[in-house]
Chain A
Amino acid sequence: MRRSIWTVVLSLILVIGIVVSSASAAVELIYTYWGSPLERDAQAKMCRDFEKAYQSIFPGIKVKDIYIPSNYDEKINAMVAAGEPPHVAQLGEALALEWAEKGILMDILPLIKQDKDPSVQIENRLSMTWYWYDKGKKTIGTNLAAEVMVLWYNKEIFDKAGIPYPASNPEAWTWEKFLDTAIKLTTDRNGRHPGDPEFDPSNIDTFGVAFGTWWAPILPFIWSNGGDICDPEGKRPLINTPASVEAIQKLADLMLKYHVAPTPTQMQAFPALRIALQTKKVAMYIDGQWALLDLGQMAKEGRIKLGVAPLPKLRKPVCLELGAPNVMFTASAQKYLKESWEFYKWTTNSEKVISLIRGGLWMPLQKWYYTNPKYMSQWLDPEVHPSEYKPAVIDYLLKYGRRSPSYYLRNWGKISDIMYQELTNVWLGKVSAKIACDNIANKIKPLLVGRYDK
């Protein structure tokens, strides 16, 4: 009996407590994101920092950061469909603009115009990183971080072979020099190089270069050769024009003709490319800037002499910039517009996640990080970022940067998947680049229905 009274009293207290606390409940913003444990920790900390910094302006404000390590698209779709989108979220580039057009994501241009915060002004962030839509009149904002495709290399292999490092100047780093370097660095089991009549392509110890066959490592070369996937209006395929085909064929030739690059099946011997680079299975490899997170750590521990270069140019240098946007969801952000906006700015203010940037995973968004030496020293860690990082990555990006089609092209998800599928047979040497590109052109024709920003 006594116990039951206590139960009643306790539950009453509990109920009252809940009612009271919900009555005075302060705003709780929801932020969803994905990433590695490192990104999780850094972003969680960023949220806590925000709570602390804004306690005086928005008393009691809380950020509920939901870390979704897998099946992100399913979850975010379900949340949106159920009418409970987060306030601010990381979002895959394939869905972002489609949702923006439908009004699900917020056009933040009016907010930017009213705000004096320099970190969010259009002209203060890398121009490539803005996601524009509605003929370029609206924007959902920028990436969470900038990323570019670069060429990583192991300096020790170069030193040992007595070959000069790749040029940091994109104009000087030509395809011919690149191919020549790759040939000299490729060695079979008996120390022979491609071109030697006794070279044994089935027993290669060190590959000159390696690259993945998804769109990001391929596209800059197509562009560099003067080709493209489609015309600037996004209406007509150009993937089967001679310039595009030639670039793809040249990449395929690296694998099949010169044997200086592993084919996709040979690549499987090293899914962790950074390890291949460190263990000298590969001398150079083309990958995202983000690889620096692990490579830089290895460099810091003295396990690799790391170098970085721009991608070699075919005709003119091109630097591919890419990344997934951080966005505000209209339905939820509208309710707490001030809070959501301040938080959004916070998440895309590189200063707040400088640890991830200094660690090598991300690149900053605000231009002053690229031009002002004072800011540069905040994120360029000499132990992590190789000495030629500035000319080879920063200047390369600033001068030759071009944003990936994911920023503007409609149906990009489908188009890039079709390219990937059709090109698989090129890398295996079953069809020529010309045939595959003709197929791609035919198949993507109905999908080329213009751009979001034009």
Chain B
Amino acid sequence: MALSKSLSIKIGKTITYIILILGSIVFMLPFIWLLRSSFMELGQIFILPPEWIPRPFRWQNYPEALTAAPFLTYFLNTLKILIFNESGVVLTSIICAYSFARLRWPGRDLIFAVLLTSLMLPYAVTLIPTFILWKMLGALNTFIPLTVPAWFGGGMFYIFLLRQFFLTIPYELDEAAYMDGASPLKVLWSIVVPLSKPAIITVAIFNFIGVWNDLLGPIIYLSDPDKYTLAIGLSVFRSMYTAQWHYLMAASVVVLAPVIVIFFIGQRYFIQGIALTGLKG
């Protein structure tokens, strides 16, 4: 019995590995394609069926691409937006989600539903009214439209996501804290946040990637080239008549690298069991 059980575990593990490795190959394809293209001559990129080894190996795509536009400036701009935006999103989405998930107040669920409708209109029709609004607020050609709204809940996607996670935490924990005289903020900080780390990390990662890759927002709201961001910098390589694919790919790899690192670090917090058991024990 014991033997067959350990055997079945072994078989299960093997199958898991096979699926994961096969899947990884498939899921790696776009990145490998991107990476190998970034070292190729323009002509070799599109040969079909594709070649996987760059010949010649053009590492100079990287310096050439990165000097085609002031990428350092773009990077610093992106960083500025990112810092203000990310901190706002993480902080206020937690607070708002907490209210919608664990505090009872009249009209809460209705208001939540109404706020959720903000995700249901495509940008194509809200873009111009929003732009006019920012003009009236005198904030065009500044980072304000790209950062300040982040401090107002950071968008319903994140609030909704966190709400779902906060709802899974047993309410007895809150009650016990309230009995000890804790305030809602204290409960949020000492009970809900520690138990929701994976979800909060998820929000942080998603928003990081969202801001990092956002092209439309900066294009619409910024007009000074020295305020442009990395995403705009990348779009330079694709224009109406000519696309410099090899440069696009090289610059893309550079821009993508931090995202991969951030995700790699962030996912370490997805470790089963630390959450509830750790606290209760």
Contacts and interface: CB of A to CB of B under 8 A. Distances in A.
Interface of A: 34-37, 39-40, 64, 66-71, 74-75, 77-78, 81-84, 268-272, 275, 278-279, 288, 290-291, 293-294, 361
A70 B135 contact: no
Interface size for chain B: under 10, 10 to 19, 20 to 34, or 35 or more residues? 20 to 34
A71 B132 contact: no
A34 B239 contact: yes
Given A36-B242, A74-B216, 6 more contacts: A36-B236, A69-B239, A78-B220, A270-B48, A272-B46, A290-B242
Sort A-B residue pairs by CB-CB distance and give the 6 closest, nearest first: A269-B48, A275-B43, A78-B131, A70-B235, A36-B239, A82-B135
B242 A293 contact: yes
Contacts of A70: 215, 219, 232, 235, 238
A84 B135 contact: yes
B223 A66 contact: yes
Contacts of A269: 46-48
B148 interface: no
Interface string B235-266: 11111111111000000000000000000000
Contacts of B225: 66-67
Given A70-B232, A71-B215, A275-B43, A37 B127 contact: no
B260 to A, nearest CB: 24
Contacts of A64: 223
Nearest to A30: B223
B78 to A, nearest CB: 16
Contacts of A36: 236, 239-242, 244
B60 to A, nearest CB: 16
Contacts of B223: 64, 66
A166 to B, nearest CB: 23
A87 B135 CA distance: 18
A270 B43 CA distance: 8
B69 interface: yes
B32 interface: no
B47 to A, nearest CB: 7
Contacts of B11: none
A107 B156 CA distance: 46
A288 B128 contact: no
A39 B140 CA distance: 26
A78 B245 contact: no
Interface in B43-83: 43, 45-48, 68-69
B132 A82 contact: yes
Nearest to B45: A272
Nearest to A271: B46
Contact of B128 (A68, A77, A271, A291): A77
B34 interface: no
Contacts of A271: 46, 243
Given A70-B238, A71-B215, A270 B128 contact: no
B131 A82 contact: yes
B42 interface: yes
A34 B240 contact: yes
B26 to A, nearest CB: 21
A75 B228 CA distance: 14
A323 to B, nearest CB: 11
B138 to A, nearest CB: 12
Contacts of B48: 268-270
Given A37-B68, A272-B43, A69 B235 contact: yes
24 contacts: A34-B239, A37-B69, A66-B223, A66-B224, A68-B219, A69-B219, A69-B239, A70-B215, A70-B232, A71-B216, A74-B219, A75-B219, A75-B220, A77-B128, A78-B128, A82-B131, A82-B132, A84-B140, A270-B46, A270-B48, A271-B46, A272-B245, A291-B241, A293-B242
